Structure 1
Amino acid sequence: MAAERQARMADRIRVLIAQRLEKGLRDPRLGFVTITDVRVTGDLQHASVFYTVLGDEKARQDTADALRAATGLLRSEVGRQLSVRLTPTLEFIHDAIPENAGHIEDLLREAAERDAAVAGLAAGATHAGDEDPYVKPREFDDAE
């Protein structure tokens, strides 16, 4: 029951913050932000808001600064929209999933290239010893 309430509150906070960011903040440092996930603690007192930013490292840093500066405003907005006694504190955390996914794709592509190279070598390979290295049972003569 409590986990359902946590999930509902996290989804609602995600939607509220995304809507507010879509309307825009009066901060020129804010880049193109996507809210990827929100996790609320079991006591519903703290919400970790995960986000991604389109752009380079400077855009990420500027957006992080803008979100840190707007935390109070966003928390007030969330508090007005949620019907809870205590509004959870908000913590904005840059979500590194897109960068990690790109790195994983690079590793998978490199592994596929190596597999193809090994398959190419194996196709033209010959046996090092006899073609059938297993010992065969001797055939006995009936004359013995």
Structure 2
Amino acid sequence: MGQLRVEKVQELIKQEISKIVLTEIKDPRVGFVTITQVEVTGDLLSAKIYVSLMGSDEQKANTWKGLQSSLGYMRSEIGKRIRMRLTPTLSLHLDESLNYSAHIQELLLKIKEEESKQ
């Protein structure tokens, strides 16, 4: 499948999943979620959805469970909204890049403080 088509499908799925999570999922466990990236295979049969979760560890765990339980609903909505022969199988993956960048920022600030003390 052409790379341009795969990229378009990825972006379209990302937009639609973001809308679904923001406005349509009524599960009270789902808290603050950001869809950071979607990776679709070349044959368009599976899609990895990378999510970033905010809150305490308990809130993150509850949000993760809520998102996992609503995967079927999200897949059916994607099938209705995007005209494709087959709807991709969705899988959720935790995106730790925001936590990692915050950790790097903390380390850089500590180094800067130590240099200013000397």
TM-score (norm 1): 0.76
Aligned to 2:93: 93
Distance in 1 separating the partners of 2:6 and 2:111: 40
1:101-116 equivalent positions in 2, closer than 5 A: 101-116=101-116
Pair 1:6 & 2:6 matched: yes
Q: Which amino acid aligns with 1:55?
A: G
- Judge which range, 54-63 or 107-116, deviates more: 107-116
SS of equivalent to 1:87:
coil
> Which fold has the larger relative contact order, with Cα–Cα distance below 8 Å and residues 6 or more apart in sequence?
2
Q: Which amino acid aligns with 1:101?
A: S
Aligned to 1:27: 27
Distance in 2 separating the partners of 1:20 and 1:78: 9
Aligned to 2:39: 39
Distance in 1 separating the partners of 2:60 and 2:89: 22
Aligned to 2:16: 16
Distance in 1 separating the partners of 2:25 and 2:80: 17
Gaps of 5+ in 2: none
Q: Which has the larger radius of gyration?
A: 1
Distance in 2 separating the partners of 1:25 and 1:114: 47
Q: Which amino acid aligns with 1:106?
A: E
Distance in 2 separating the partners of 1:54 and 1:113: 28
Pair 1:77 & 2:77 matched: yes
Aligned to 1:130: none
Distance in 1 separating the partners of 2:24 and 2:77: 13
Aligned to 1:134: none
Q: Which amino acid aligns with 1:29?
A: R
Give the % identical residues. 34
Aligned residues: 118
Distance in 1 separating the partners of 2:111 and 2:43: 45
Aligned to 1:68: 68
Q: Hey, which bits of structure 1, 4+ residues long, moved more than 3 A?
A: 114-117
SS of equivalent to 2:14:
helix
Distance in 1 separating the partners of 2:24 and 2:52: 16
Q: Which amino acid aligns with 2:20?
A: R
